[in-house]
């Protein structure tokens, strides 16, 4: 009887000791410290993160120039110039067009006010004065509708200097990452032994491949969207169609949000500069249609397959990235999420999480059956060896 009692006590002790509250507490503390560090050290980590991904994207090009020039520093400079020159031409094009728009800002403002008055009159004609007055003055409500994006643009322009400084620092870090890339890689590899070292090397290669495909895919999306936007605005009869079209296309680097903002700007411009209702309405309808095409066909096919992140995780990454790092977090959210997914695939207890993040979640739900083992469960992180707690017979 006593023996059976000891067996039962051994079983109970083993079950109670399987899950470690201490490990869970340590894990939560580490995660909290990490999140605080990411938020507090934003000014340091943002340019480093940009430089990390940019150096991964430029590595093949840098290797190509180094083979043909024989100079490592010259190869890095040529690689950076291959990125900076197209960006400089794009900035020059935008600057000339924006200056032209600002030169006519006074007349545009008067037309915008006139358009606002027409919109208010239209609301009155629809007999909605009473509901509007319950919530405030119609003029104030309509003016607030148009002031919101204008204030957003003003805040964006005011932070332009900080963005340029971040870009400059990122380029400096990129230069050094490329210059010391071999030493940094060896340093990382020597931290592991045996097969783990080969796994880490393969993981680095996968992250580099995803970064490169994301850059190329993003460039293709910008070209496609810029062409479609500009063509549509030109056919509608909107001035500066190339400016608004490619500005909206460049804003697609901010997934989901950028396309909406890119359509709002030409819509407001159409209201301010046209005398008909159909043109602003056509701009709005066209951008809604383009956004649906971009979100459901172009981006998933061109970029989605390369980073293998499902829309739910993409939106969650945007929210978290925007909360922690603002605009920079929105831009970096997708490549960071894709990198985390690759890392999760190399850790047993995180492999189901990697599948949860991937595009295969909807089509290959049965793949979770492959991970029906205790070593693939998140709870394994918080379990301890209970053999030392066993009762003696």
Q: What is the dihedral of CA 58, 64, 68, 72, to 10 degrees?
A: 40
- Is residue 117 one of the residues assigned to a domain? no
- Is residue 328 one of the residues assigned to a domain? yes
Comparing CA positions, the residue from 373, 371, 348, 345 lying closest to residue 357 is: 345
If one counts the domains in the chain, the total is: 1
Q: Six-digit token pair at 231?
A: 């063509």
Averages of pLDDT over each 10 residues, the chain, 393 residues:
44 50 84 92 92 91 90 92 87 77 61 58 51 50 52 53 83 94 90 84 87 83 88 88 86 73 83 81 88 75 75 84 86 89 85 83 70 71 56 44
Comparing CA positions, the residue from 209, 222, 221 lying closest to residue 307 is: 209
Q: Six-digit token pair at 329?
A: 């977090």
Give the orientation angle of helix 181-189 with respect to helix 160-179, to 10 degrees: 70
- Is residue 191 one of the residues assigned to a domain? no
Contact 225, 190 (CB under 8 A): no
Instruction: Scan for tokens 């831009």, then name that residue.
Output: 331
Contact 32, 155 (CB under 8 A): no
> What Rg do the C-alpha atoms of the chain give, in angstroms?
27
Contact 320, 329 (CB under 8 A): yes
Instruction: Scan for tokens 């680095």, then name that residue.
Output: 204
Residue 225 to residue 122: CA distance in whole angstroms: 33
Burial of 204 (0-12, 13-18, 19+ CB in 10 A): middle
Range of the domain at 325: 308-383
- Is residue 90 one of the residues assigned to a domain? no
- Is residue 312 one of the residues assigned to a domain? yes
pTM of the predicted protein model: 0.73
- Is residue 323 one of the residues assigned to a domain? yes
Helix H, strand E, coil C: the string for the chain is CHHHHHHHHHHHHHHHHHECHHHHHHHHHHHHHHHHHHHHCHHHHHHHHHHHHHHHHHHHHHHHHHHHHCCHHHHHHHHHHHHHHHHHHHHHHHHHHHHHHHHCHHHHHHHHHHHHHHHHHHHHHCCCHHHHHHHCCHHHHHHHHHHHHHHHHHHHHHCHHHHHHHHHHHHHHHHHHHHCHHHHHHHHHCCCCHHHHHHHHHHHHHHHHHHHHHHHHHHHHHHHHHHHHHHHHHHHCCCCHHHHHHHHHHHHHCCCHHHHHHHHHHHHHHHHHCCCCHHHHHHHHHHHHHHHHHHHHHHHHHHHHHHCCCHHHHHHHHHHHHHHHHHHHHHHHHHHHHHHHHHHCCCHHHHHHHHHHCHHHCCCHHHHHHHCCHHHCHHHHHECCCHHHCCCC
């Amino acid at each position: 009887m006593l023996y059976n009692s000891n067996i039962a006590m051994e079983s109970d002790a083993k079950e109670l000791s399987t899950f470690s509250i201490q490990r869970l507490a340590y894990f939560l503390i580490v995660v909290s410290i990490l999140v605080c560090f990411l938020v507090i050290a934003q000014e340091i980590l943002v340019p480093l993160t940009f430089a990390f991904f940019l150096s991964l994207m430029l590595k093949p090009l840098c290797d190509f120039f180094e083979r043909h020039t024989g100079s490592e520093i010259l190869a890095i400079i040529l690689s950076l110039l291959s990125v900076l020159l197209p960006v400089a031409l794009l900035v020059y094009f935008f600057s000339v067009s924006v200056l032209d728009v600002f030169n006519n800002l006074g007349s545009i403002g008067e037309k915008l006010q006139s358009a606002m008055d027409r919109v208010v009159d239209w609301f009155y004609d629809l007999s909605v004065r009473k509901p509007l007055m319950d919530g405030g003055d119609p003029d104030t409500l309509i003016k607030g509708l148009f002031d919101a994006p204008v204030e957003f643009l003003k805040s964006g322009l005011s932070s332009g200097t900080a963005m340029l400084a971040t870009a400059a620092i990122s380029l400096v870090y990129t230069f050094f990452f490329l210059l010391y890339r071999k030493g940094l890689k060896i340093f990382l590899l020597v931290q592991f032994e045996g097969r783990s070292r080969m796994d880490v090397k393969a993981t680095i290669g996968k992250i580099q491949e995803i970064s490169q495909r994301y850059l190329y895919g993003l460039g293709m999306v910008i070209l496609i969207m810029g062409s479609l936007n500009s063509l549509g605005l030109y056919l509608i009869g909107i001035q500066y169609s190339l400016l608004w079209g490619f500005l909206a296309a460049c804003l697609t680097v901010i997934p989901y949000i950028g396309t909406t903002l890119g359509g709002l700007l030409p819509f407001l411009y159409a209201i301010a500069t046209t005398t008909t209702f159909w043109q602003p309405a056509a701009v709005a309808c066209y951008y809604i249609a383009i956004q649906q095409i971009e979100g459901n066909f172009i981006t998933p096919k061109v970029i989605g397959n390369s980073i293998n992140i499902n829309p739910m995780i993409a939106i969650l990454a945007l929210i978290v990235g925007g909360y922690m790092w603002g605009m920079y977090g929105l831009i970096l959210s997708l490549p960071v999420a894709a990198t985390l997914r690759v890392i999760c695939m190399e850790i047993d207890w995180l492999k189901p999480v990697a599948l949860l993040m991937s595009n295969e979640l909807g089509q290959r739900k049965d793949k979770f059956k492959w991970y029906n083992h205790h070593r693939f469960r998140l709870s394994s992180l918080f379990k301890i060896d209970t053999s030392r707690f066993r009762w003696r017979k």
